[in-house]
Amino acid sequence: MILSASRRTDIPNYYADWFFNRMKEGFVYVRNPMNPRQVSEIRLSPEIIDCIVFWTKNPAPMIPRLGELKNYPYYFQFTLTGYGADMERNMPDKKGIVIPVFQRLSEKIGSERVIWRYDPILFNGKYTPACHLQMFEQMAAALRGYTRKCVISFVDRYAKNSKAMEAVGAYDLEETALIDFAGRLSEIARANGMEMGSCAEETDLESCGIRHNCCIDKGLIESLTGCRMNVGKDKYQREACGCVESIDIGAYNTCKNGCAYCYANHSLDSVIRNCARYDPHSPLLCGEIGEEDKVTVRQVKSVRDGQMSLFDRQNMI
């Protein structure tokens, strides 16, 4: 089993204590987002968990306790953009705080295990293509040697964020301009020793040197573990998504980063209401089991398929 923590909320930033308590107790409860009365009990142990993928904008609360994960392979998807408080309301200063956190995490666990996400890229009157290029170049220089890969995506419009997109004056680039912009990002990344990938993008950016990326990446997991993984594409993600199957233990409407482009929160009121129910000792993130809830043990198992040979590992380099 590959554990995702989490596409739905920033567990490392806001719920690190809860996460480590769950790992210590060996199980977690997760509500079905489509049917909240259905709750899965998921067992957590080194024999079952093949890798943990963390998604975060600020893993500082988790860094002092990473030693507790010594028996688990893991890596971080670390989102770091140039947006200010107008777009990411509750994020600390990027240059003074977040970039040093990125550097410290990389020094602790290795540059191959910290993926830089410059996403989503949104264009408006303030955050123009020229502005993004300038911010990206400054950040890439600061992160040189601290990561091997940068992943980009362009903001998607959903029913949940359409009003927010209108409120910030977001606009789309036509395809030729978009490809030119992506190519310039790719050149900056390569100049700073980084491979670049795209996340769930319909537009083909191969001509820019940008491959379709797998954020939950079978190849990286195999490289980190030295084992082949018998796992296929995640059928619950978008068609353009290259991620392999995983189990996400987060919950929607619980992220406090306050991003204007967010698709994981329905409203500020729902976030405030749910976060008020947070208990780091509860098996359920931001809530408790009610009388009408049905808890079912989800059958999970390792997807490891034997040790990789030296020949296999050399071919991955």
The pLDDT value given to residue 235: 87
For the chain, residues with pLDDT lower than 70 are 159-160, 308-317
The residue ranges of every structural domain in the chain are 2-309
The pLDDT value given to residue 310: 47
The pLDDT value given to residue 313: 53
Rounded Cα distance, 96 and 258, in Å: 19
- Counting Cβ atoms within 10 Å, is residue 75 exposed (0-12), middle (13-18) or buried (19+)? buried
Say how far residue 317 (Cα) sits from the centre of its chain: 24
Task: State the pTM of this model.
Answer: 0.94
The pLDDT value given to residue 311: 44
pLDDT digits (tens, 9 = 90+) for 75-108: 999 999 999 999 999 999 999 999 999 999 999 9
The pLDDT value given to residue 204: 82
The pLDDT value given to residue 316: 56
For residue 6, cis peptide bond before it (omega within 30 degrees of 0):
yes
